[in-house]
Chains A and B, each alone.
Chain A
């Protein structure tokens, strides 16, 4: 999924840049959460990439607001869970048909990874709501 171009017209300071970048990347992640509900390969992949972009942006601007760091860490956990699910999808796609026991194990592990991601995303929503910084609350 291609990253959307961010409108940075008139931006000349780093705080303003942070606000626009984080707001755009967060909007993109929110727009793709249906992938997490559907639990399908492509949907999860797109959502993971959007979360990765958001996480990188938050880490980059964390020096401006410490509370961004906690969200970035939670996003890293979410991204790990989705990454592990994706790895299992890749292996399942090429696994020989005769390996039924291995396939069952991989499918069950994959679902556990997606469950972890769903739990992480729920916690993230609460974390974002709890932010007390006016500036970041405005952005998120």
Chain B
């Protein structure tokens, strides 16, 4: 099916572009982009698994998603804690904030390292 081949190629290119941007300069926005592009593509590959010979590609895309989970989780929880901590409880929050800053840094670096090794070009 022509439509399917074209759609898979388009999404492959989009993921590869997002991956390159993220590994060039890892930051929160680029992490978000690479994750959404990846999830969207993974969902397409799962939808058409019955007619597309793309099992290896699907596994690679899934691995890429997993590689960014820890960085995303740390970032989300960190931003939420920063914005919702009650004024009277700042001192209790400080150790957790510091732990999350460190987790975010390490997880983003790990995600970048893993994505550096992957390629999604058709």
A3→B48 CA distance, assembly (Å): 11
Question: Looking at chain B, what size class is its interface with the partner chain?
Answer: 20 to 34
Report yes or no: A14 in contact with B1, Cβ–Cβ below 8 A: yes
A80→B7 CA distance, assembly (Å): 26
Q: Which of A70-111 contact B (CB under 8 A)?
A: 87-88, 90-91, 94-96, 98-102, 105-106, 109
Question: Of A29-37, A51-59, A115-123, A127-135, which stretch is located at the interface?
Answer: A51-59
Contact of B44 among A5, A52, A56, A101 (CB under 8 A): A56
Proximity string of chain B (80-99) to chain A, C-beta cutoff 8 Å, 1 when within and 0 when not: 11001110110011011000
Question: Shortest CB–CB separation between residue A129 and chain B, in angstroms?
Answer: 24
Contact of B77 among A3, A21, A94 (CB under 8 A): A94
Report yes or no: A106 in contact with B44, Cβ–Cβ below 8 A: no
Question: Shortest CB–CB separation between residue A49 and chain B, in angstroms?
Answer: 10
Q: Which of B65-112 contact A (CB under 8 A)?
A: 73, 76-77, 80-81, 84-86, 88-89, 92-93, 95-96
User: Do most interface residues of chain A lie in helix, strand or loop, or is the interface mixed?
Assistant: helix
A102→B39 CA distance, assembly (Å): 32
Report yes or no: A109 in contact with B84, Cβ–Cβ below 8 A: yes
Number of interface residues of A (CB under 8 A): 33
Report yes or no: B80 in contact with A88, Cβ–Cβ below 8 A: yes
Report yes or no: B86 in contact with A53, Cβ–Cβ below 8 A: no
Report yes or no: B51 in contact with A99, Cβ–Cβ below 8 A: no
A8→B50 CA distance, assembly (Å): 6
Report yes or no: B89 in contact with A90, Cβ–Cβ below 8 A: no
Report yes or no: A101 in contact with B96, Cβ–Cβ below 8 A: no
Whether A8 contacts B93 in the complex (CB less than 8 A), given A3-B43, A109-B84, comes out as: no
Question: Shortest CB–CB separation between residue B6 and chain A, in angstroms?
Answer: 10
Contact of B89 among A56, A60, A87, A98 (CB under 8 A): A98
**Is A11 interfacial (CB-CB < 8 Å)?**
yes
A7→B51 CA distance, assembly (Å): 9
Kindly list 9 other residue pairs between chains A and B, CB separation below 8 angstroms, not including A90-B76, A99-B92, A102-B85: A5-B50, A11-B51, A12-B1, A53-B47, A60-B7, A99-B89, A101-B88, A105-B84, A109-B84
Give 10 CB contacts A-B under 8 Å.
A7-B50, A9-B50, A13-B1, A14-B3, A25-B47, A52-B39, A53-B46, A101-B86, A101-B88, A102-B93
